[in-house]
Amino acid sequence: MRLHKLPSEFQKALPILEKIKDAGFEAYFVGGSVRDALLGRPIHDVDIASSSYPEETKSIFPRTIDVGIEHGTVLVLEEQGEYEITTFRTEDVYVDYRRPSQVSFVRSLEEDLKRRDFTVNALALNEEAHIIDRFDGLEDLNNQTLRAVGNATERFNEDALRIMRGFRFAASLDFSIEAATFEAMKENAPLLENISIERIFIELDKLLLAKGWRKGMEALIGSGAFDYLPDMKGRADHLRAFLASLTDGFAFRTSEQAWALLMVYLEPTHHKSFLKHWKTSNDFQRTVIKLAEIYQLRQQGPVTKQLCYRYGKHLLYLMEEIRQAQGLAADFKQIDAIDESLAIHDKHEIVVKGGEMMASFELVPGPFLGHLLNEVEVAIIEGVLENRRESIMAFIKEKIEHE
Ligand code: ATP
Ligand code: MG
């Protein structure tokens, strides 16, 4: 099969293929970009596979960076852009279900395509816009089917991350997982325990952010693979409730939003440790925990000035979107109105600083001072105290006198 027209991303990269060919080697566009071009989706990275070995690739191009030379990948810097060129390779022996113990460079495209995960990811495209399709990836693309290349059980046994990638592609492509592939996912799911959490997180995160996230989650639940993910063991009902809680067509806006709701539904003993088990960054943990708190506080009551001040409008909006998608009362205008009514959005905006209060009233650091500062802050937020020097000083004076 031939593409009617080579998309511009490939056109732009054609001189790279030509240079490799002129040097006497084969070169093709491969992987996700070919798949996405055929699906009419936006193309991100144009990856190139070549029969040239890394050293040979480096001798063809004046400017290169060794980004993963042990895997055969060289980054080529040319006028039109940066391209990863990876030597055709096989990954023959797998010892830890995680990474190939040995990468062998080969001179055959076919061998390279064979080691790829799914048939729709195992397509290659040459400079004449001709598609090389050794595993009926085109047919699977047409049928919106995700199918492992070759023997599914072997493929997942070699690298269990492919199971998570499969759920992720089901979500991002909105494809159905072919029956034998799905069976093999179920069967090999325990091997996920050998895969680094960081890599699993990346896949689950991409899954959740995909438009077709429901399809991906359904596959994750249906396969039982969640049993081998951190803090999800035995939580099928929780995951189903999470899925069922949101209206069809809803898509998460941010990772934090998705993970906050997922966490609320999973009901881990501690939010912090859940997020730690998932090896997420401190920043991510902080935001997700706040979002989960907002969700729970909103279950208990309306948006208040305190809530708005403490968490900020942006985070409240994210959880209000969730409420809306769950058919709960949601009021974005109310958040806006409260936010606008706040005299301060941060304690640094209080016109009298703590140091000045201490000096003026001969206060010393300690619980009393802390309590007092907090009272000033709350009174300003509630609008019962003006954020003016005289008002604040009078407020403190009175508090001290009543002490
Ligand atoms: P995306 O659009 O998310 O980048 P992609 O298909 O390009 O999707 P990548 O992770 O960028 O996915 O990998 C590029 C290609 O490398 C894949 O299309 C696939 O052919 C191959 N590949 C990547 N990871 C694996 C793996 N774990 N096992 C087998 N093949 C893989
Ligand atoms: Mg890619």
DSSP code per residue over 340-385: HH-S-SSGGG-SS-HHHHHHHHT--SSHHHHHHHHHHHHHHHHTSS
Confirm or reject: Cβ of 256 under 6 Å from ligand 1.
no
Nearest residue by C-alpha to atom 3 in ligand 1: 32
252 φψ region: left (φ > 0), alpha (ψ -120 to 50), beta (else): beta
Ligand 2 midpoint to CA 305 (Å): 45
Ligand 2 midpoint to CA 285 (Å): 27
Q: How many C-beta atoms surround the C-beta of residue 148 within 10 A?
A: 26
Ligand 2 midpoint to CA 124 (Å): 14
Q: Which ligand is nearest to the CA of 163?
A: 1
> Which two three-digit tokens encode residue 288?
């997700």
Confirm or reject: Cβ of 161 under 6 Å from ligand 1.
yes
Q: Residue for token digits 């290349």?
A: 149
> Which two three-digit tokens encode residue 278?
């998932």
Ligand 1 midpoint to CA 30 (Å): 9
Confirm or reject: Cβ of 137 under 6 Å from ligand 1.
no
Q: pTM score > 0.75 for this model?
A: yes
> What does the alpha-carbon distance between residue 112 and residue 96 come to, in Å, rounded to a whole number?
21
8 A C-beta contact, residue 113 and residue 207: no
pLDDT in tens, the chain (403 residues): 888 889 999 999 999 999 999 999 999 999 999 999 999 999 989 999 999 999 999 999 999 999 988 889 999 999 989 999 999 998 765 556 555 567 889 999 999 999 999 999 999 999 999 999 999 999 999 999 999 999 999 999 999 999 999 999 999 999 999 999 999 999 999 999 999 999 999 999 999 999 999 999 999 999 999 999 999 999 999 999 999 999 999 999 999 999 999 999 999 999 999 999 999 999 999 999 999 999 999 999 999 999 999 999 999 999 999 999 999 999 999 999 999 999 999 999 999 998 998 999 999 999 999 999 999 999 999 999 999 999 999 999 999 988 7
Confirm or reject: Cβ of 100 under 6 Å from ligand 1.
no
Atom nearest to 35 CA in ligand 1: 6
> Which two three-digit tokens encode residue 65?
């960076």
User: Within 13 Å of residue 322, how many CA atoms lie on the same side as its CB?
Assistant: 28
8 A C-beta contact, residue 223 and residue 185: yes
Ligand 2 midpoint to CA 36 (Å): 10
The single-letter DSSP state of residue 121 is G
Binding-site residues for ATP: 32, 35, 116, 159, 162, 165, 168
Ordered alpha helix ranges (H), 64-175: 109-114, 137-142, 152-158, 161-173
| Ligand 1 binding pocket mutation candidate from 34, 71, 116 (most atoms within 8 A of CB) | 116
Atom nearest to 162 CA in ligand 1: 27
Q: Residue for token digits 């732009």?
A: 12
| Ligand 1 binding pocket mutation candidate from 118, 121, 200 (most atoms within 8 A of CB) | 121
Q: Which ligand is nearest to the CA of 165?
A: 1
